[in-house]
Amino acid sequence: MGRPRSERAHQQVLEAALKLFSERGIAATSMDAIAEASGVSKATIYKHWADKDALCLEAMAHAHGLDEEPPHFHGDDVRTALIRVLSHRPREEYAAQRARLVPHFIAHAARNPDFGMAWRSRAMEPPRRYLRQILKRGVEEGLFPADLNYDLSLALLIGPIMYSHFLSPSKNNTKTLPEGLPEQIVEAFWKAHAITKPARGRARETHRSRKHKS
């Protein structure tokens, strides 16, 4: 059985909008053009989205996989759960469109601060929420100190991903992050903030203690 007509129309509009936004830019793309490219009437489009900014936000969210099922990390240990959230990657099929769209998107957000704020909230809030939940579990399990600074912890975990994304080399108009980066980030965070240090670290401390006593 195929999708309901309204769902198919919704998807057609998102696909057409992404294509036009990435090719022409957001300001230069009209709702009339999106209606023509999608084969969906403008009246129907306005039933789904209040305006072009709302459509653009959802199209970007769709391209970044923000409308997918959230990561399932509840059965994982804290370290694995952190890695799982940081390892999320947007849909590969939209990689080229995302790369072309980002400059247009940044320019549009600079001219429309409310739009930029809405996107930052939509894009950043889910991973921040998931990571905060995991960190709180780590505190409850005694892995992290009770006075753990959550805002600073989130910045330390998410910041390297964003930094690497913007500075990573392009290949075929797509961005590639260093392999194993989420694991490296969590390992560095763990060494800096976990109450229980890695086994090798404890072994070195024991060795130094014995040497000092002798």
φ, ψ at 71 (rounded to 5°) = -60, 140
Statement to judge: residues 85 and 33 lie in one domain: no
Statement to judge: residues 190 and 86 lie in one domain: yes
Which residues are CB-contacts of 150 (< 8 A; sequence separation ≥ 6)? Answer: 132, 135, 136
Q: Provide the residue type at 147 as one letter.
A: D
Which CATH number do you get for residue 58?
A: 1.10.10.60
Q: Summarize pLDDT for 87-103 with one digit per residue, the tens.
A: 887 778 888 888 888 88
Is the residue at 104 inside a domain? no
Statement to judge: residues 137 and 202 lie in one domain: yes
Statement to judge: residues 37 and 134 lie in one domain: no
Predicted confidence at residue 203, as pLDDT, reads 39
For residue 199, is pLDDT > 70?
A: no
Q: Summarize pLDDT for 26-80 with one digit per residue, the tens.
A: 999 999 999 999 999 999 999 999 999 999 999 988 888 887 776 677 778 999 9
Which CATH number do you get for residue 172?
A: 1.10.357.10
- What is the residue range of 161's domain? 72-90+109-213
Predicted confidence at residue 208, as pLDDT, reads 42
Is the residue at 99 inside a domain? no
For residue 170, is pLDDT > 60?
A: no
Statement to judge: residues 186 and 166 lie in one domain: yes
Statement to judge: residues 20 and 85 lie in one domain: no
Beta carbons of 157 and 181 less than 8 angstroms apart? no
Statement to judge: residues 163 and 78 lie in one domain: yes
Predicted confidence at residue 207, as pLDDT, reads 39
Averaged over 10-32, what is the pLDDT? 93
Beta carbons of 125 and 69 less than 8 angstroms apart? no
Statement to judge: residues 52 and 125 lie in one domain: no
Statement to judge: residues 8 and 113 lie in one domain: no
Is the residue at 147 inside a domain? yes
